[in-house]
Amino acid sequence: MISRTLGCAVILVVALLSGATGSEVSALTPAPDLPVAANAAAPGTSERHHYTMSARVRPLLLFWISRSNVGDAIVTRTAAPLETRYSLLIGSDPDRAPRRINRWGYIQETIRGDAAAVVGLMTESDEESVEEAENHIRAEGSGMHTFKVIHAAIDGQRSRSVVTAIGAPADYSFRQVQAVLALAEDGGTEGRSREVRLPPGTRPGFLSALAEIVHAQATGARAGALRAGSPLTYVYHGKFYELRATSVQFKPALDVDSSRYARVVSAQFATKNLADGEQTRFSLSYAIDGRLAEVPLTVSYQPRWWMQVDLALSDDGDSSLMGTRD
């Protein structure tokens, strides 16, 4: 599931526990997920936005410990006459995180008419508790550096995907995403492929589905009729998920760090696995006008009961983290 791919990418537990002080204790705030620039851009345009990451962790069900500026995210959208491409790169920065914790993930969706290609990448990490995270960190210190890469091809009627396990010679960070993708092209250990037939109306991925809902909400807000919008179904590695906006609210202004944005929508979302009913909740805010129309300003995501990740737009930061890839 997309929440696993990107949620595990931002497991910063040990970094938070080892570096936090008593003054950083805080309470839990809203829940979570992924940003994406929207359908508002005209063909032939390209957008790239940088976000700084903060995180909270709750050891032993007691209290929340906060730490800021532990990582980054880069969101891109490229619109061409016959193609639209969305991508998200997100992770901790070992140069800033205590104990050089390194968790990250990448997803790219390229849509050409009714065909699409999806590439997903994550550090191999499925921790369900603080203890599991600590054990995984110790194992990585012994030289184990494994990544999972998913490739999916969608033709409008069917989706075929496969996950490949890649052994990396070094503990690559999110700044070296292109090097890991190159390793995946050179080979690895492939799992069994999944192929499914797509029901009518199925979107090719999470990012494009989210962009579509945000665009519909913003269009309604500009007309004075803000609505949550209809849920959409998308496919990810042979499984189907529903993305639904659960609530929306218009705000005349929103402060994000030292910046103030006017005419903002704050929206709550949920994704649901249509096979088992598992849900993941997240929130984001975005402006409806101007240069940043439909671009997320803040995102909040809780991939585990014991941790929460928050992103804040910071386009004056390093927006060249991801490099380029055809």
For residue range 76-115, what is the model confidence (pLDDT) as tens digits?
999 888 899 999 998 888 887 656 777 888 999 999 988 9
Lowest model confidence (mean pLDDT) among 57-71, 214-228, 268-282, 288-302: 57-71
Which pLDDT band holds residue 324 (cuts at 50, 70, 90)?
A: very low
Q: What is the pLDDT of residue 187?
A: 72
Q: What is the pLDDT of residue 24?
A: 29
Q: What is the value of pTM for the model shown?
A: 0.80
State the virtual CA torsion across 106, 294, 284, 32 in degrees, nearest 10.
-30
Average pLDDT score, the chain = 79
- Beta strand 189-190 pairing with 158-167: antiparallel
Instruction: Report the C-alpha gap between 82 and 68 in whole angstroms.
Output: 40
More confident residue, 126 or 28: 126
Backbone φ, ψ for residue 41 (5° rounding): -65, 140
Instruction: Report the C-alpha gap between 310 and 243 in whole angstroms.
Output: 20
Each residue's pLDDT tens digit, 274-317: 999 999 899 999 999 999 999 999 999 887 777 788 999 998 65
Which pLDDT band holds residue 22 (cuts at 50, 70, 90)?
A: very low
Instruction: Kindly give, in sequence order, each residue whose CB lies less than 8 Å from that of residue 267, ignoring residues fewer than 6 positions away.
Output: 214, 217, 228, 245, 247, 248, 249, 283, 284, 285, 286
E strands, the chain, where? 25-26, 45-57, 64-80, 83-92, 104-112, 115-123, 146-154, 158-167, 189-190, 194-197, 232-236, 239-256, 259-273, 279-287, 296-304, 307-313
Rounded average pLDDT over 191-203: 92
Q: Is pLDDT at 9 greater than 80 in this prediction? A: no
Q: What is the pLDDT of residue 171?
A: 81
Structural contact between residues 276 and 292, judged by C-beta atoms closer than 8 angstroms: no
State the maximum Cα–Cα separation within the chain, in Å, rounded to a whole number.
58
Residue 307 corresponds to which tokens in the numbers above? 């941790």
- Residue pointed to by tokens 């209809």: 230
Q: What is the pLDDT of residue 135?
A: 52
Rounded to the nearest angstrom, the gap between the alpha carbon of residue 168 and the centroid of all alpha carbons in its chain is 23
Q: What is the pLDDT of residue 132?
A: 47
Q: Is pLDDT at 172 greater than 60 in this prediction? A: yes
Q: What is the pLDDT of residue 139?
A: 53
Q: What is the pLDDT of residue 216?
A: 97
Q: What is the pLDDT of residue 61?
A: 66
E strands, 36-82, where? 45-57, 64-80
Which pLDDT band holds residue 152 (cuts at 50, 70, 90)?
A: very high
Q: Best-predicted range by mean pLDDT among 135-149, 150-164, 243-257?
A: 243-257
Instruction: Report the C-alpha gap between 72 and 41 in whole angstroms.
Output: 23
More confident residue, 23 or 188: 188
